[in-house]
């Protein structure tokens, strides 16, 4: 790809950020010094002269003509698409089952993959220091995986942590993410110039069912306006 006048980064700004359709998946962050994730928002720190346009290639919203909702509606029939099998499950470990959101299956899969050495680490999402500002976290041990179990119903820029882990040479990574983040992973794998090599480091992808995610800044403001304080359990 050829760069003229910061074209790749500018296209991402115009097509996604300025239109307010960024899903805050974090896929464009952590690749280079020009983007950052600050308090729940993707921020542009500087103009980027790179000619790879990876940020644009990774973005799951860059190709959308309308808004995400309009695009969803245009899929029409409301089915979940192709699948191999559907299972109902919950963790056989009581602690994992209790701490997990709906039975702890996701955490169990990660713990099992770590114990069997399928993965050496996993990118998951924690609750943030105030319990209301979720962010990606690279974890390695069963207890770290379990500490991040449960759902934070907000966008968390989690894939920024994956990008940084790959940049730092991490191998055999597991990733838990929302559908938009799984879509970004698919785009990463097809991206130039190094998508396949980067994605080879990801050994396990677990996509969560999700139809929406809150903007946690607005949630914080909503709670503050009602003088709701203290730790948020769920
Ligand atoms: C924003 C959001 C919206 C959802 N919407 C629905 C819905 O409408 N209907 C439905 O049936 N299920 C929904 N889910 C999925 C559901 O809440 C559970 O995550 C899922 O059923 C797995 O449960 P579990 O007990 O196996 O997971 P657990 O073992 O509790 O593991 C949950 C995993 O999700 C990760 N995680 C938590 N928050 C986030 C986040 N914000 N972004 C990325 N990863 C995260 C954790 O780090 C952990 O690894 C949603 C989840 C999220 C995060």
Kindly state whether residue 78 falls inside one of the protein's structural domains. Answer: no
- Across residues 201-211, what is the average pLDDT? 96
Task: Give the mean pLDDT of 70-82.
Answer: 58
Q: Is residue 139 part of a domain?
A: yes
Contact between 176 and 122 (Cβ < 8 Å) = yes
Q: Is residue 37 part of a domain?
A: yes
For residue 85, being part of any structural domain is answered with no
Q: Is the residue at 234 inside a domain?
A: no
Range of the domain at 189: 7-73+90-225
Which atom of ligand 1 approaches the CA of 107 most closely? 29
Say how many Å lie between the CA of residue 153 and the centre of ligand 1. 8
Residue-wise pLDDT for 122-177, tens only, equals 999 999 988 889 999 999 999 999 999 999 999 999 999 999 999 999 999 999 99
Question: Can you read off the two tokens belonging to residue 206?
Answer: 């677990």
CA distance 162 to 28: 11
Q: Which residues line ligand 1 (CB under 6 A)?
A: 100-107, 124-125, 134, 148-154, 156, 158, 176-178, 208-211, 213
CA–CA–CA angle 11, 26, 14 (5° rounding): 15
Q: Which of 90, 97, 101 to mutate to test the pocket of ligand 1 (most atoms within 8 A of CB)?
A: 101
Q: Look at residue 233 and tell me if it is in a domain.
A: no
Q: Do the Cβ atoms of 110 and 206 come closer than 8 Å?
A: yes
Strands 173-177 and 136-139: unpaired
Domain count, the chain: 1
Specify the pTM: 0.92
Question: How many angstroms is it from 96 CA to the middle of ligand 1?
Answer: 14
Q: For residue 115, is it within any domain? A: yes
Q: How far apart are CA 190 and CA 28, in angstroms?
A: 15
């Amino acid at each position: 790809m050829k760069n003229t006048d910061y074209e790749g980064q500018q296209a991402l700004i115009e097509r996604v950020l300025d239109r307010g359709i960024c899903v805050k998946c974090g896929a464009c962050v952590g690749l280079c010094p020009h983007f950052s994730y600050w308090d729940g928002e993707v921020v542009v720190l500087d103009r980027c002269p790179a000619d790879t346009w990876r940020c644009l290639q990774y973005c799951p919203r860059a190709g959308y003509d309308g808004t995400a909702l309009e695009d969803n509606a245009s899929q029409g029939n409301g089915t979940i698409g192709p699948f191999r099998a559907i299972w109902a499950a919950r963790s056989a470990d009581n602690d994992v089952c209790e701490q997990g959101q709906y039975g702890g299956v996701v955490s169990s899969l990660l713990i099992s993959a770590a114990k069997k050495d399928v993965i050496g680490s996993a990118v998951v999402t924690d609750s943030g220091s105030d319990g209301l500002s979720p962010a990606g976290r690279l974890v390695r041990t069963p207890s770290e995986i379990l500490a991040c179990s449960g759902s934070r119903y907000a966008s968390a820029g989690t894939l920024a942590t994956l990008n940084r882990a790959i940049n730092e040479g991490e191998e055999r990574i597991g990733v838990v993410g929302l559908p938009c983040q799984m879509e970004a992973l698919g785009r990463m794998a097809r991206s130039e110039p190094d998508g396949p090599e980067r994605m080879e480091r990801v050994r396990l992808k677990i996509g969560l069912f999700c139809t929406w995610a809150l903007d946690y800044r607005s949630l914080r403001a909503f709670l503050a306006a009602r003088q709701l304080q203290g730790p948020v359990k769920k």
